[in-house]
Amino acid sequence: MPSPDKSLDALLVKNGRKLFAQECSFVHGAIQLDQLPAPVLPELAFAGRSNVGKSSLVNALTGRKTLARISNTPGRTQQINFFDLGQRLMLVDLPGYGYARASKKSIAEWTHLIHLYLKGRVNLRRICLLIDSRHGLKDNDRALMSELDRDAVVYQIVLTKSDKPKAVELEKTLAGITAELKKYPAAMPGVHVTSAFKKFGIEQLRADLVQLATAKPLG
């Protein structure tokens, strides 16, 4: 498993820890565009294939166990869920793509909703695109990345479940993704490697994301 960056700014680490220790509360889930909350707080969205570990990562970042519902059944998150982090940052848990126990009509409806959200949300600061460390980039990941490139939406690749593959396999996956990212202009350089189960890479990710939040609580 790669070692965390020892040169990480200590102040960012401290501020990241403080930010994600703030009260974090579920606002609501949106299944239609007119149900989205007012675009007041900067938003950080988590996207990825079904069962990639979005809810687990949100829980790990905030130090909660049940803030975002976790399910072993792929495709259980079928709405856009908003979480207010200390009135400084809105965390957005998007439905997973690639698999879902839902009708084709339902899948098409919330897939369309996600695309509208990603393309038109004026306060969306960044997307964390989660990739399962065991599988690497898949075609549906690349399709979303190309779409984000076209719409000039900034995204950061985050590897999840890094405790699962062998170290040599993880290094190979990481190297391959890092090289491929050069083809995608809206992708941020570098890849965060995390494990929600082992809490690996969580502090480093918090330190990176704290810069997206407002300096003081709004409201």
What is the CATH classification number for the domain harbouring 27? Answer: 3.40.50.300
Q: What is the pLDDT of residue 114?
A: 86
**Phi-psi domain of 179 (left: phi exceeds 0; alpha: psi -120 through 50; beta: other):** alpha
Selected residue with higher pLDDT from 101 and 116: 116
Note whether residue 184 is domain-resident: yes
165-191 pLDDT, tens digit each:
999 999 999 999 999 999 999 999 999
The average confidence (pLDDT) of the chain is: 88
SS3 213: coil
Note whether residue 218 is domain-resident: no
Percent of the chain having pLDDT more than 70?
A: 88
Sheet holding 24-30, edge to edge: 24-30, 80-85, 89-93, 43-48, 124-132, 155-160, 187-193
Note whether residue 4 is domain-resident: no
- Alpha-carbon distance of 87 to 169, in angstroms, equals 40
Selected residue with higher pLDDT from 110 and 92: 92
Is-contact 144 157, C-beta < 8 A?
no
Q: Token digits for 212?
A: 């997206």
- Give the structural domain span for 79: 10-212
Note whether residue 2 is domain-resident: no
- Alpha-carbon distance of 111 to 107, in angstroms, equals 6
Domain tally, the chain: 1
Q: What is the pLDDT of residue 73?
A: 43
Note whether residue 73 is domain-resident: yes
Percent of the chain having pLDDT more than 90?
A: 68
Note whether residue 59 is domain-resident: yes
